[in-house]
Structures are given as structure tokens and as C-alpha cells.
Amino acid sequence: MAGRKLALKTIDWVSFVEIIPRNQKAIANSLKSWNETLHTRLANLSEKPPAIDWAYYKANVAKAGLVDDFEKKYNALKIPVPEDKYTALVDSEEKEDVKNCAAFVSESQVRIQEYEKQLEKMKNIIPFDQMTIDDLNEIFPETKLDKKKYPYWPHQPIENL
């Protein structure tokens, strides 16, 4: 029963709350509450149980050898450390998540590039009073009148005028 160091990482709960999407808030709350429960339980249990007073028992128990026997067996007893099957799962999940995040970030970068291109295009258009209708249709394609669908003037349903 050697004492082991419990290596806990400090958690920034504010960031933890930030990264959870809305539909998983319940899971996040349960994680948080579990964390707190375990912390309190840990605080209640001391690291080692108190030592047994063998001398007192040896003096008082009549049966010879019983106390010695117990003492020997107790000292030889090794409580197995519970094996950790789950950290591996969490690690593999984290690796996948890192991959997904990297993919998301690269896609996001691509999107940002496109947005910036559009932004540049919008910022650099000529002033409206120097435009022709053709220029306007290039910049805002929705203003283009559909001459095939509405062959007669005003080339749009009357309600839109």
C-alpha cells in the first residue's frame, strides 16, 4: 500500500462550459457534479488507514499465535490497485477529437479565405452612380431580370415592382 501521487490537471471551468454545445449541457453538468462528488469523497478518505496496535492485541488476546498470524497476514496483504481500463478510451477519443478539430480548423480557414475574397470584392465595387445595369447585375446577381421567364417588360412579376 505505497502512497501514490494523484496527478490531477487543473481545470478551467469557464472554458469547459464554453466549449460544450447547447444540446450536451446535461452531460457536461453531470461530469462536473461527478467531479465534485469524487473530490468530496476523496477528502473524506485519508490516504492510509490508521495503524493497528498489535502490541495491545498481543497482550490481550488469549489465543496464542492468533494475533501473530493476523499480523503477518495483514502486513503481507497487498490491496490491488484498481486497473485503469478507461483512460485509454478517453485518450483515443481525444486523438479523434484532435483530428476532427484539425479538419474543422482547416475547413474553417478555407471558408475564411472565401469570405475574405467576397469581402474584398464587395469593398472594391465602383460607386453606384457610375454603374450601369449590367455592372449591378454582376455584383448582385439577384437583381438580374430573367428575360426568359418573363419575356415581356417589366421582366418580373408585377408584385416585385
Q: Which of residues 29-48 bind another protein (CB under 8 A)?
A: 31-32, 34-35, 38-39, 41-42, 45-48
Per CB under 8 A, contacts with another protein among 2-21 are 4, 6-9, 11-12, 15-16, 18-20
Q: Distance (Å, rounded) from C-alpha 87 to C-alpha 95? A: 12
Q: Is 22 in the site for another protein (CB under 8 A)?
A: no
Q: Distance (Å, rounded) from C-alpha 144 to C-alpha 155? A: 10
* Minimum CB–partner distance for residue 154 and another protein (Å): 15
Per CB under 8 A, contacts with another protein among 79-138 are 79-82, 84, 86-87, 90-91, 93-94, 97-98, 101, 104-105, 108-109, 111-112, 115-116, 118-119, 122-123, 125-126, 128-132, 135-136
Query: Residue length, the chain?
Result: 161
Tell me whether residue 9 or residue 148 sits nearer to another protein (CB atom): 9
Instruction: Please check whether residue 148 is in contact with residue 155, taking contact to mean a CB–CB distance below 8 angstroms.
Output: no
Q: Distance (Å, rounded) from C-alpha 130 to C-alpha 119? A: 20
Among 25, 61, 147, 156, the residue binding another protein under the rule CB under 8 A is: 61
Contacts of 52 (CB under 8 A, 6+ apart): 71, 74
Instruction: Please check whether residue 48 is in contact with residue 4, taking contact to mean a CB–CB distance below 8 angstroms.
Output: no
